[in-house]
Amino acid sequence: MMSSTEHNYETKSYDVIVIGAGGAGLRAAIEASAQGASVALVTKSLLGKAHTVMAEGGMAAALGNLDAADGWVPHFKDSIRGGKYMNNWRMAQIHAEEAPERVKELELWGAVFDRTPDGRILQRAFGGHTYRRLAHVGDRTGLELIRTLQDKGIHSGIDVFMECTVTNLLEENGQVSGAFGYWRESGRFILFKGKSIVMASGGIGKAFEVTSNSWEYTGDGQAMAMAIGAELIDMEFLQFHPTGMVCPASVKGILVTEAVRGEGGKLTNALGERFMKNYDPERMELSTRDIVAKAIYAEVRDGRGSPNGGVFLDISHRGADYIKRKLPSMYHQFLELGDVDITKGPMEVGPTMHYTMGGIRVNPETQESPTVKGLFAAGECSGGMHGANRLGGNSLSDLIVFGRRAGLYAAEFAKQQTEMLPIDNEKVKGYAQALVEPFERKGTETPYPIHAELQHLMHTKVGIVREEKFLKEAIAELAVLRERAKKARVDGSRAYNPGWHLAHDLINMIDASEIVAKAALQREDSRGGHTRLDFNFSDDKVWRHRTSVASRATDGTLTVSYFDKPQMPKELVALFDKAEEKTAFETEGKF
Partner 1 sequence: MMMIVSDAHTNRVANFHVFRGNPDENGEHIGEVVNYEVPLKPGWVVLDAIHWIQANKQPDLAVRWNCKAAKCGSCSAEINGLPSLMCKTRLDHMPADKPIIVKPMKTFPLIKDLVTDVSWNYEVNKKIQPFTPANSNVDTWRYFQQDADRVQEFRKCIECFICQDTCHVLRHHSKFDKFFGPRFMIRLAQLEFHPLDVADRLKFIKEEAGIGFCNITKCCTDRCPEQIRITDNGIIPLKERVVDRFYDPITMLLNKIGLG
Which active-site residues does the annotation give?
241, 261
Task: Looking at residues 253 to 272 of the shown chain, list those that interact with partner 1 (rule: CB under 8 A).
Answer: 254-255
Give the residue with the Cβ less far from partner 1, 33 or 551. 33
Q: Note whether 2 binds partner 1 by CB under 8 A.
A: no
Task: Looking at residues 534 to 573 of the shown chain, list those that interact with partner 1 (rule: CB under 8 A).
Answer: none
Contact range with partner 1 by CB under 8 A, out of 44-52, 423-431, 471-479, 504-512:
44-52
Task: Looking at residues 362 to 421 of the shown chain, list those that interact with partner 1 (rule: CB under 8 A).
Answer: none
Single out the residue of 228, 253, 227, 226 nearest to residue 242, CA to CA: 253
Q: Which residues are bridge partners to 393 per DSSP?
A: none
Number of chain residues interacting with partner 1 (CB under 8 A): 78
- In this structure, the chain runs to a length of 591
Does residue 278 contact residue 292 with C-beta atoms inside 8 Å? no
Contact range with partner 1 by CB under 8 A, out of 5-13, 149-157, 375-383, 428-436:
149-157
Q: What is the DSSP letter of 566?
A: P
User: Residue 112 corresponds to which amino acid?
Assistant: V
CB 141 → partner 1: shortest distance, Å? 11
Contact range with partner 1 by CB under 8 A, out of 339-347, 391-399, 420-428, 549-557:
339-347
Choosing from 319, 345, 443, 566, the residue that interacts with partner 1 (CB under 8 A) is 345
Choosing from 249, 320, 480, 575, the residue that interacts with partner 1 (CB under 8 A) is 249
**What is the helix (H) or strand (E) element at residue 11, kind and residue range?**
strand 9-19
Q: Note whether 247 binds partner 1 by CB under 8 A.
A: yes
**What is the helix (H) or strand (E) element at residue 515, kind and residue range?**
helix 498-522
Task: Looking at residues 167 to 206 of the shown chain, list those that interact with partner 1 (rule: CB under 8 A).
Answer: 185
Task: Looking at residues 276 to 315 of the shown chain, list those that interact with partner 1 (rule: CB under 8 A).
Answer: 307
Pairing between β-strand 39-42 and β-strand 9-19 as defined by DSSP bridges: parallel
Contact range with partner 1 by CB under 8 A, out of 151-159, 362-370, 468-476, 513-521:
151-159
Query: CB within 8 A of 255, min separation 6: which ones?
Result: 54, 56, 212, 241, 243, 244, 245, 352, 354
One-character DSSP codes across 185-248: TT--EEEEEEEEEEE-----GGGSSSBS--TT-S-HHHHHHHHTT--EE-TT-EEEEEEEE-SS
Q: What angle do CA 400, 22, 125 make, to 5 degrees?
A: 55
CB 203 → partner 1: shortest distance, Å? 14
Choosing from 67, 90, 175, 215, the residue that interacts with partner 1 (CB under 8 A) is 215
CA distance from start to end of the chain: 59
Q: Note whether 9 binds partner 1 by CB under 8 A.
A: no
Choosing from 78, 171, 209, 216, the residue that interacts with partner 1 (CB under 8 A) is 216
Cα separation, 491 vs 204, whole angstroms: 26
Contact range with partner 1 by CB under 8 A, out of 68-76, 338-346, 387-395, 543-551:
338-346
Task: Looking at residues 315 to 334 of the shown chain, list those that interact with partner 1 (rule: CB under 8 A).
Answer: 328-329, 332-333
Q: Note whether 440 binds partner 1 by CB under 8 A.
A: no
**What is the helix (H) or strand (E) element at residue 177, kind and residue range?**
strand 175-183
Query: CB within 8 A of 401, min separation 6: which ones?
Result: 94, 95, 98, 99, 102
Q: Note whether 586 binds partner 1 by CB under 8 A.
A: no
Task: Looking at residues 45 to 104 of the shown chain, list those that interact with partner 1 (rule: CB under 8 A).
Answer: 45-51, 53-54, 104
Q: What ranges make up the beta strands (E) of 246-358? A: 266-268, 311-314, 347-356
Task: Looking at residues 452 to 491 of the shown chain, list those that interact with partner 1 (rule: CB under 8 A).
Answer: 452, 489-491
Task: Looking at residues 104 to 123 of the shown chain, list those that interact with partner 1 (rule: CB under 8 A).
Answer: 104-105, 107-110, 112-115, 117-120, 122
Q: Note whether 338 binds partner 1 by CB under 8 A.
A: yes
Q: Note whether 250 binds partner 1 by CB under 8 A.
A: yes
